[in-house]
């Protein structure tokens, strides 16, 4: 304390301001470091997707082995080739087929899972706990144990090479995950609502349609998004049941495309891969909140 005459209080004031500034600075440095690091990791993680996107704009000779993302002389030639389709079937036919399957799945699952979930969540009936246990048990069941007999049945009744085998299960809530999700959601809705409606003389149909369904919108939206994306990306189902190229959905059309252009026309392959993902990417951009929340709260897989 050589500086006599300076009051102790002003010293502490000055030093605390200094401390605060230093603290503020270190916080800012930490923040900059954090963002730099996360962005660096993010670039590495997203690189394959970016590479696909940018490669679709490059000429084929410039794709394999070119680490750079920037296309020299970008063009949409690859997309023109991809849209042309394969074996006389246009890309838009595949797109339409995929769309029919995905929209059909959404409608089927929204209807069947919500109705079935209402029974589990809100109706006291004999045998409920047994069925519920079976439903939970089927959540983790590998589908491979049912695909062979299913195929045999559909083959015997002549439904192979139609969309029926791919959509029937959706209308019968065979993907128990969605039933489970909706049961969980409904259980958290206040029971007073349907009890009040019951006293007013409403039956289950009324309670379900005019009370439950409107309240279940978040669960329905989450289910719809995942139902759409899962159907859109499904490979095994269409591979088993769709034989005629004019019925192909995009994933198996893509596989045919890759097999036929084995002279490695990577440009067109990349373009078609990008086109096949566009609806998924759009869903992701529009509904990312719903998607991520769905994963966080329900443990839904991507």
Nearest residue to 54 (alpha-carbon basis) of 71, 67, 66 = 71
229 binds other proteins (CB under 8 A): yes
Q: Is 48 in the site for other proteins (CB under 8 A)?
A: yes
- Which of 54, 86, 106, 135 lies at the binding interface for other proteins (CB under 8 A)? 135
Distance of closest approach, residue 64 Cβ to other proteins, in angstroms: 5
Only segment of 9-17, 78-86, 164-172, 216-224 that touches other proteins (CB under 8 A): 164-172
Closest approach, Cβ 132 to other proteins, in A, equals: 10
Residue 62 tokens read as: 């410039």
Instruction: Report the distance separating Cα 139 and Cα 152, nearest Å.
Output: 23
Stretch that binds other proteins, among 18-26, 44-52, 189-197, 213-221 (CB under 8 A): 44-52
Q: Which residues contact 210 (CB under 8 A, 6 or more apart)?
A: 197, 202
Per CB under 8 A, contacts with other proteins among 261-290 are 266, 269-270, 273-274, 276-277, 280-281, 284, 288
Note whether 16 binds other proteins by CB under 8 A.
Answer: no
Q: How far is the CB of 63 from other proteins (least distance, A)?
A: 7
How far apart, in whole angstroms, are the C-alpha atoms of residue 104 and residue 231?
9
Which of 17, 80, 136, 148 touches other proteins (CB under 8 A)?
Answer: 148
233 binds other proteins (CB under 8 A): yes
Selected binder of other proteins within 172, 193, 282, 286 (CB under 8 A) = 172
What value does the CA radius of gyration of the chain take, rounded to a whole number of Å? 28
The verdict on 292 binding other proteins (CB under 8 A) reads yes
Q: How far is the CB of 11 from other proteins (least distance, A)?
A: 30
């Amino acid at each position: 304390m050589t500086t006599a005459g300076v009051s102790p209080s002003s010293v502490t004031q000055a030093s605390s301001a200094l401390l605060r500034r230093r603290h503020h600075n270190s916080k800012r440095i930490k923040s900059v470091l954090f963002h730099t690091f996360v962005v660096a990791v993010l670039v590495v993680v997203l690189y394959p997707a970016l590479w696909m996107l940018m490669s679709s704009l490059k000429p084929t000779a410039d794709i394999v082995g070119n680490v750079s993302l920037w296309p020299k002389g970008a063009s949409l030639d690859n997309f023109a080739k991809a849209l042309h389709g394969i074996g006389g079937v246009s890309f838009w036919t595949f797109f339409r087929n995929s769309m029919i399957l995905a929209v059909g799945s959404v409608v089927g699952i929204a209807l069947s899972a919500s109705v079935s979930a209402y029974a589990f969540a809100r109706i006291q009936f004999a045998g409920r706990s047994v069925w519920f246990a079976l439903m939970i048990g089927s959540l983790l069941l590998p589908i491979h144990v049912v695909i062979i007999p299913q195929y045999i049945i559909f083959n015997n009744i002549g439904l192979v090479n139609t969309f029926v085998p791919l959509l029937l299960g959706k209308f019968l809530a065979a993907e128990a995950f969605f039933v489970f999700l909706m049961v969980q959601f409904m259980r958290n809705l206040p029971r007073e609502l349907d009890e009040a409606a019951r006293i007013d003389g409403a039956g289950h149909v009324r309670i379900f349609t005019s009370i439950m369904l409107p309240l279940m919108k978040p669960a329905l939206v989450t289910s719809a998004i995942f139902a759409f994306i899962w159907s859109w990306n499904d490979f095994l189902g269409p591979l088993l049941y769709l034989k005629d190229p004019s019925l192909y959905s995009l994933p198996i059309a893509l596989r045919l495309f890759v097999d036929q252009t084995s002279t490695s026309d990577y440009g067109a392959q990349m373009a078609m891969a990008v086109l096949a993902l566009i609806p998924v990417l759009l869903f992701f951009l529009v509904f990312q909140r719903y998607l991520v929340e769905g994963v966080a709260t329900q443990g839904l897989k991507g």
